[in-house]
A and B are shown apart, each in its own frame.
Chain A
Amino acid sequence: MKKNQLLEKIIHGVFLILGLITVGCVLLITVYLVISGLPAIQKIGLTDFLFGTKWASTASDPKYGILPFILTSIYGTAGAIVIGVPIGFLTAVYLSKIASPRVKSAMQTVVSILAGIPSVVYGLVGMLVLVPGIQVIFGVADGASLLAAIIVLAIMILPSIIKMSITALDAVPKEYEDASLALGATPIETYFKVSVPAAKSGIAASVVLGVGRAIGEAMAVMMVAGNVPNMPNSLFQSVRFLTTAVSSEMAYSSGLQQQALFSIALVLFFFIMLINATLNFFLKREKE
């Protein structure tokens, strides 16, 4: 009997450890990023690092200012949201409220496939369709630009926005809509003035999720944004994002340059944690 109880206790302990592995991973990632990211910030100085407008890591007098990357990431994400959210939101309303079950399920498959396409494939198509397209349409020297990155990101965040908004809209109680219809509102008025406000936390969460996706995307952006560390002063400029700043120099970097790349990752991580917290806030409200 005693032996059995001991066995049960051991097994309980093993499962507890397995359960805590995710927590361990998060702690490990945080600790590693902080430890490897802080030294360069200390050496360069926090304000020089965050607000320096010039990044020249391989120059004889190296400059490590990441403001261009921060602004590019913010502008790029904002642009993607401005284009992607209206399309995703309207698609979600149509699919959740108006589409026949067959159309809905077919479109949901389409959206899942969009979500599953590897980011390098988006990058590849962007490189060969979007970049030359921008070059021709706007008559600029090189189409690899902030605009190309914004369009690719807008497409890549569509699936997250559509999926999450549909879930939120589907969960709106039928009674709300029936009441509105009975009062004489048309179906379309009901969907946009009753259902959408009722699902607003979930829709807000979908936007935040899109922000997270866009700010974290690296490879597709790397292939279409041109990757020159410019300040993002125009849509047609070749720019570098926080994510691509890390990946483009990692392969050949060393010393302070490499440490500075870890610091960039730490800044990116900080942004992501902020976005995660916001997402959780909205999801919690949605549940209530």
Chain B
Amino acid sequence: MLNESLSKKRKTYELVMKGLMYVAVFSTAALALFLLIYVLVKGIPNISWELLTTSPSYISQKIGILPDILNTIYIVIATLVIVLPLGVGAAIYLTEYATNKKIVAIIEYAAETLSGIPSIIYGLVGMLLFSNNMGTCLMAGALTLVIMNLPTIMRTTQESLKTVPQSYREGAFGLGAGKWRVIRTVVLPGCVDGVITGCILSVGRILGESAALLFTAGFAHALNGFVQGLSSPGATLTVALYVYAKEQGEFGVAFAIASILMVLTVVINFAANLVQKHFAKRRSS
């Protein structure tokens, strides 16, 4: 009814804009669906028990990705263990201690800058800072990733700290607790959800990272234990994908790894959503 009274020009505008929006939304959704299905269809047939549980062997001409899987796990653990105290500490400083607005602004600007720096530059600086001093090894890669993930952990922790009611802190202070005690007993328990969300996001970022690791952690496929692994060069799954696809033309293995990464991406996404929903519910109740 309203539409009938519109001039022709306005009607066309309406139609064109609506059409364009549908095209845009549809292409975004179709693209994601295509990527997911294409990678899974090409990759899953190439995944075998043997691929997952062996190392590459030149003698039998077989490729196994067990070392890459383990390297990925090692580097995730090492990065999180180092970045968590740093990121959480920085967030606590910002929300609990900092009184000087200028310092807060500088720190936040620095964190934003860090999250805008592309990974290839992290890779280069990581190479100069860590690999040139301690050799190309997983630990050098992990330290590079620590700098990259610091802003993420800081931000998610900060956000969850802001939701701890001020009255809790005042109550604790009123009972005579010192600042450190208040932080330990009141503030820290309140930022658990931020820390967990931050961890999940960081794991996702570490899994996807390749440019920063290529020159810091290297691309060897040796099977190592945790400690040995951290001090020797090794490829994570993503780096292995790159090497197999670009350098060796082993597309079957590359797609197998890609489909594993794809599934992990989806899982991480849902996990992050779940955690956020869970804590949001608990907070509102």
Contacts and interface: CB of A to CB of B under 8 A. Distances in A.
Interface in B253-271: 254-255, 258, 261-262, 265-266, 268-270
Nearest to B151: A22
A98 interface: yes
B65 interface: no
Q: Is the interface of B mostly helix, strand, loop or mixed?
A: helix
Nearest to A18: B89
Q: Which of B2, B118, B246 has the most CB of A within 10 A?
A: B118
A120 B178 contact: no
Nearest to B261: A118
A186 B211 contact: no
Given A25-B147, A90-B21, A111 B113 contact: no
Nearest to A184: B2
A246 B124 contact: yes
Q: Which of B23, B112, B124, B214 has the most CB of A within 10 A?
A: B124
A220 to B, nearest CB: 9
A125 B39 contact: yes
Nearest to B240: A120
Q: Which of A12, A21, A89, A276 has the most CB of B within 10 A?
A: A21
Contact of A273 (B113, B125, B245): B113
Contacts of B134: none
B117 interface: yes
B198 to A, nearest CB: 14
Interface in B52-86: 85-86
Interface string B108-127: 01111110111111111101
A275 B110 CA distance: 14
Contacts of A94: 21-22, 24-25
B128 A32 contact: yes
Contacts of B202: none
A123 B24 contact: no
B79 to A, nearest CB: 14
A4 interface: yes
Contact of A12 (B25, B97, B150, B207): B97
Contacts of B113: 26, 273, 276
Contacts of B112: 276, 280
Contact of A265 (B121, B209, B214): B121
Contact of B208 (A16, A99, A117, A128): A117
Nearest to A271: B118
Contacts of A14: 89
A87 B28 contact: yes
A279 interface: yes
Interface residues of B, number: 87
Contact of B121 (A124, A272, A279): A272
17 contacts: A21-B150, A23-B107, A23-B110, A32-B129, A36-B128, A90-B21, A90-B23, A95-B25, A107-B29, A110-B29, A110-B32, A116-B268, A121-B258, A123-B246, A125-B258, A188-B13, A250-B127
Contacts of A18: 85-86, 89-90, 92-93
B236 to A, nearest CB: 10
B118 A268 contact: yes
A158 interface: yes
B50 interface: no
Interface of B: 2-3, 6, 10, 13-14, 17-18, 20-25, 27-29, 31-32, 35-36, 38-39, 85-86, 89-90, 92-94, 96-98, 103, 106-107, 109-114, 116-125, 127-129, 147, 150-151, 154, 178-180, 204, 207-211, 214-215, 238, 241-242, 245-246, 251, 254-255, 258, 261-262, 265-266, 268-270, 273
Contacts of A23: 106-107, 110
Q: Is the interface of A mostly helix, strand, loop or mixed?
A: helix
B156 to A, nearest CB: 14
Instruction: Please provide the 4 A-B residue pairs with the shortest distance between their CB atoms, ordered closest to farther.
Output: A216-B118, A18-B89, A19-B93, A118-B208
A98 B176 CA distance: 53
A183 interface: no
Nearest to A222: B246
Contacts of B28: 87-88, 91, 107, 110-111, 114, 158, 162
